[in-house]
Amino acid sequence: MKLNKKTALITGGTSGIGESCAELFASEGAHVAVVGSSDMAKAEAVVARIAAAGGTAKPYVGDLSRVSEIARVVAAVKADFGRIDILVNSAGVFYPTPVGGTSEADYDRMMDINVKGVFFCIHEVAPIMKAQGGGAIINISSVAGVMALGTYSAYCAAKAGINFMTKALAQELAGHGIQVNAILPGNTATPMNENIRTEVEFKPMLDAMAAATPSGRTYSEAIDMARAALFLASGDGRAMHGALLVMDEGFSLGM
């Protein structure tokens, strides 16, 4: 039980990498706050699976593009569990933003959820961790923050921002016993990219991705990222501050 009786707040906890983190952390003894964007039924379903496996979790929803909503959710988790030891920022959006074909609303949504939301989740949780004497913050970034992806420039910019935010906050918070690190997934099979993996029109893209993936495994699994998050959250990676852990099957290495 690597996380026995620790409280973990996981945003984006109703699907993909966040969901895998929630279930894995609960299996390791954590009390898990599963935070979704708006659909309480989805959060409750994850909590039900955790409970059926003998774990402890509670569901929450909030619009993480709004600072007031973030503050409300964090306060509720603190009130329910009494503490927050681990924060996993897994909530995010992914869609193309081609130059000449992107609305201001789409750009703002990308930045508000992927960057502002992460910053203010940390902003609300860090004082709690300081008062407790420490904690672990894990940002789910992307390999797109260290390599270019045409037509996804806003997403690349957002994730590059998360990478440097991670480093700067790690420097700021390390003296308080708080670790801040990031995981940079490559292509990972989640509901977010199911269309790319399954629809015929995306086959040329999928073939190109496969050819550029040295491991021969075009898509990692969400549980692979969750296991890395567990390493960072458990104390096994206690020497890591501001690390950017690339987990992309070698995709960013180039041909």
Q: Which helix (H) or strand (E) holds 7?
A: strand 7-11
For 199, other C-beta atoms within 10 Å of its C-beta total 10
Taking the CB of residue 165, how many other CB atoms lie within 10 A of it? Answer: 18
Maximum distance among all Cα pairs of the chain, rounded to whole angstroms:
52
Active site residue 60: no
Reported as type and span, the H/E element at residue 39 is none
Neighbouring C-alpha atoms within 13 Å toward the C-beta of 90 = 29
Active-site choice (60, 95, 152, 155): 155
User: For the chain, percent helix, then strand, then coil, each to nearest 5?
Assistant: 50, 15, 30
Tell me how many helices (H) and strands (E) the chain has. Answer: 9, 9
Within a 10 A sphere around the Cβ of 209, how many other Cβ atoms?
A: 18
Catalytic residue annotation: 155
